[in-house]
């Protein structure tokens, strides 16, 4: 069943549906107020209208709550009203929601709404821009883009046909019909280009050259990378460059790739579960294969425990590298091509 079944009232035992509609509206309004309080939309308040208009609960007809070892599946069609209310409130929490598990592993999720808001603002979309989203997920992010730009200017792609099919259903239930493609996100969707913006909702190990070839000069690519968000400007089909944003970001890897978080050894001066711990792990993830943990820690301390904004990525021809402070500076690490 799709999430729209809640509104159509197919189950005669689902009493109080109107009350749940009211709860959804108030919960969505509260989420919007919470995101707005963080100042996310100061630069581009139009995104507030999208978050107000697009009902997130239609995109998460069920999700998994609780610890990884003991997740509970919450379903919007539960015969128990209390469970339906819990599902609905959770759908509008400012938290990521695990939406698809396979063999105990998370393969798809709905990202934290406040982080989605940050990414959409940082994408720097303008009216008329053609946007490609890598990683369809639930379809919620594509719906936000479609509300802003119109269906014809939004394309979302995912490798998993089950994910794309459910995303189409969710989008249709919310009244949006952007182009949803089943395919390898690393290859882009050339027939829908050229693109002014590309946004990825999965983490990468390198920037696919196919994306650059499908972009207009001056296009912006925003993608999770290591545990950060890289914002690159495309010069042409072989050149792109940009820095990381301040915020941290944790996403599932692009399908067909693998990622394991780097282990941080006991290094005495580095306390566990601190912001410094997180920033050091970002450096390890960014330089994987180039520096061992001891070398990375020595560099990190020597350079004053740098924030993410001091790092960047350059793509030039058949080379791609991450760097600290300057693309041609002393600290540069090759990335896989």
At residue 97, φ and ψ (nearest 5 deg) are: -125, 125
pLDDT confidence of residue 7: 37
Q: pLDDT tens for residues 68-103?
A: 545 788 999 899 999 999 999 999 999 999 998 887
Side-chain-side CA neighbours of residue 248 (13 Å): 14
Of 142, 127, 140, 121, give the one whose Cα is nearest residue 35.
121
Q: pLDDT tens for residues 203-232?
A: 999 999 999 999 999 999 999 999 999 999
Percentage of the chain modeled with pLDDT above 90:
74
The active-site residue, picked from 26, 108, 114, 290, is 108
At residue 38, φ and ψ (nearest 5 deg) are: -80, 0
Q: How far apart are CA 134 and CA 289, in angstroms?
A: 26
Which pair of tokens denotes residue 308?
Answer: 């993410």
pLDDT mean over 322-329: 97
Residue 336's pLDDT band (cuts 50, 70, 90): confident
Domain 5-243 fold is Rossmann fold (3.40.50)
Q: How far apart are CA 197 and CA 233, in angstroms?
A: 10
| DSSP 8-state code for residue 152 | G
Which residues is 102 bridged to in the sheet?
105
User: Domain locations in the chain?
Assistant: 5-243, 257-334
CA distance readout (Å), 112 to 35, 56, 304, 332: 11, 11, 30, 32
Percentage of the chain modeled with pLDDT above 70:
87
Q: How far apart are CA 121 and CA 200, in angstroms?
A: 14
| Contact partners, residue 288, CB within 8 Å, separation at least 6 | 262
pTM: 0.89
Q: Catalytic: 108?
A: yes
Name the residue with higher pLDDT: 100 or 193: 193
**Chain centroid to CA 242: how far?**
18
| Contact partners, residue 160, CB within 8 Å, separation at least 6 | 107, 108, 182, 255
């Amino acid at each position: 069943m799709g999430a729209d079944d809640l509104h159509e009232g197919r189950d005669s035992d689902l009493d109080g549906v109107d009350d749940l509609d009211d709860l959804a509206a108030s919960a969505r309004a509260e989420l919007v107020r919470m995101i707005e309080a963080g100042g996310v939309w100061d630069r581009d308040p139009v995104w507030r209208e999208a978050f107000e208009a697009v009902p997130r609960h239609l995109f998460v007809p069920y999700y998994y709550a609780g610890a990884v070892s003991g997740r509970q599946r919450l379903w919007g069609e539960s015969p128990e009203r209390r469970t339906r209310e819990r599902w609905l409130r959770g759908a509008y929490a400012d938290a990521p929601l695990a939406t698809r598990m396979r063999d105990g592993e998370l393969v798809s999720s709905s990202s934290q709404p406040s982080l989605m808001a940050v990414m959409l603002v940082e994408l720097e979309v303008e009216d008329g821009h053609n946007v490609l989203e890598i990683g369809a997920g639930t379809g919620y992010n594509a719906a936000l883009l479609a509300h802003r730009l119109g269906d014809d200017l939004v394309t979302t792609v995912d490798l998993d046909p089950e994910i794309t099919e459910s995303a189409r259903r969710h989008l249709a239930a919310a009244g949006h019909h952007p182009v949803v493609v089943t395919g390898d996100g690393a290859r882009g969707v050339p027939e829908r280009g050229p693109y002014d913006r590309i946004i990825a909702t999965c983490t990468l190990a390198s920037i696919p050259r196919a994306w650059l070839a499908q972009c207009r000069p001056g296009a912006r690519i925003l993608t999770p990378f290591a545990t950060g968000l890289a914002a690159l400007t495309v010069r042409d089909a072989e050149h792109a460059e940009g820095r990381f944003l301040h915020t941290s970001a944790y996403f599932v890897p692009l399908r067909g790739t693998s990622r394991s978080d780097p282990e941080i050894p006991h290094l005495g001066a580095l306390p566990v579960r601190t912001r410094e711990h997180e920033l050091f792990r970002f450096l390890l993830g960014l330089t994987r294969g180039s520096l061992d943990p001891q070398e990375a820690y020595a560099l990190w301390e020597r350079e004053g425990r740098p924030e993410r904004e001091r790092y960047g990525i350059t793509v030039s021809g058949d080379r791609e590298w991450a760097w600290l402070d300057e693309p041609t500076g002393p600290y540069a690490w090759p990335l896989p091509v």
